[in-house]
Amino acid sequence: MIETIRDAYGSIFEKSLVDEISEVAKLIEFKEGDILIDLGNYIKSMPLLINGAIKIMREDLDTGELLLYFIEKGDTCAMTLTCCIGDQKSKIRAVAETDGLVAMIPIVKMEDWLGKYKSWRTFVFTSYNNRLNEMLAAIDNVAFRRMDKRLYNYLKEMGKITNSKIVSKTHQEIAYELHSSRVVISRLLKTLEIDGKVKLNRHNIELIS
């Protein structure tokens, strides 16, 4: 177990911190599609992602949901910290985009280490910064870009996350994540295909570099 943690985090934390993490962390495997955190959940421990990818969604009661950003190996979710520390309900939903593995840290330890290890502070702050920047990017998308561009960005990002040219999603699923409707997505995908940017198959979309 210390091996997996050292693999993912050995380069940014000093040895004594890696040891401490290994002592208290609980490793949890997850499968694609698992809902790791749902709206309204109280979070009692902090996740360190070892591998896999997790998508973070915002949901509005009436009007559906919206993909905010992805979390990948070697990162944590600052939105979770928000909840941990503030003892608030989660305002987001975390869903596994791929299979993966996560280490859960008790909050108490997390706060201990803030006073104790500079590398831990840096890590936590870096994570907050990444999250804020990703939120800004999400805002840019919904505020400044039209759906065709958002869709294309989304497809490219999905390709990066899964490290593949094939995006295995139905039009309906994409519509949910971009907070649009299936018909609109089908329409725009068709024009992307006509422009030679993608190839549409049943159940998946192929990115043409």
Partner DNA sequence: CTTACTCTGTAACAATTGTTACCGCAGCTT
Partner DNA sequence: AAGCTGCGGTAACAATTGTTACAGAGTAAG
* Cα 40 to the center of its chain, rounded Å: 18
Smallest gap from Cβ 82 to a copy of itself, in A, equals 4
Smallest gap from Cβ 6 to DNA, in A, equals 41
CA distance 14 to 34: 32
Smallest gap from Cβ 182 to DNA, in A, equals 6
Contact between 91 and a copy of itself per CB under 8 A? yes
Contact between 179 and DNA per CB under 7 A? yes
Give the contacts of 86 (CB within 8 A, at least 6 positions apart).
none
Minimum CB distance to DNA smaller for 6 or for 187: 187
C-alpha angle with apex 46: 73 to 22, nearest 5 degrees?
A: 70
Exactly one of 16, 133, 168, 191 binds a copy of itself (CB under 8 A); that residue is 133
- Cβ atoms of 193 and 185 within 8 Å: the answer is no
Exactly one of 65, 112, 134, 148 binds DNA (CB under 7 A); that residue is 148
- Cβ atoms of 168 and 128 within 8 Å: the answer is no
Going by their DSSP bridges, the two strands 35-37 and 54-60 should be labelled as unpaired
Give me the residues that bind a copy of itself (CB under 8 A), please: 58, 60, 63-64, 66, 68, 78-79, 81-82, 85-86, 91-92, 114-115, 118, 121-122, 125-126, 128-129, 131-133, 135-136, 138-140, 142-144, 179
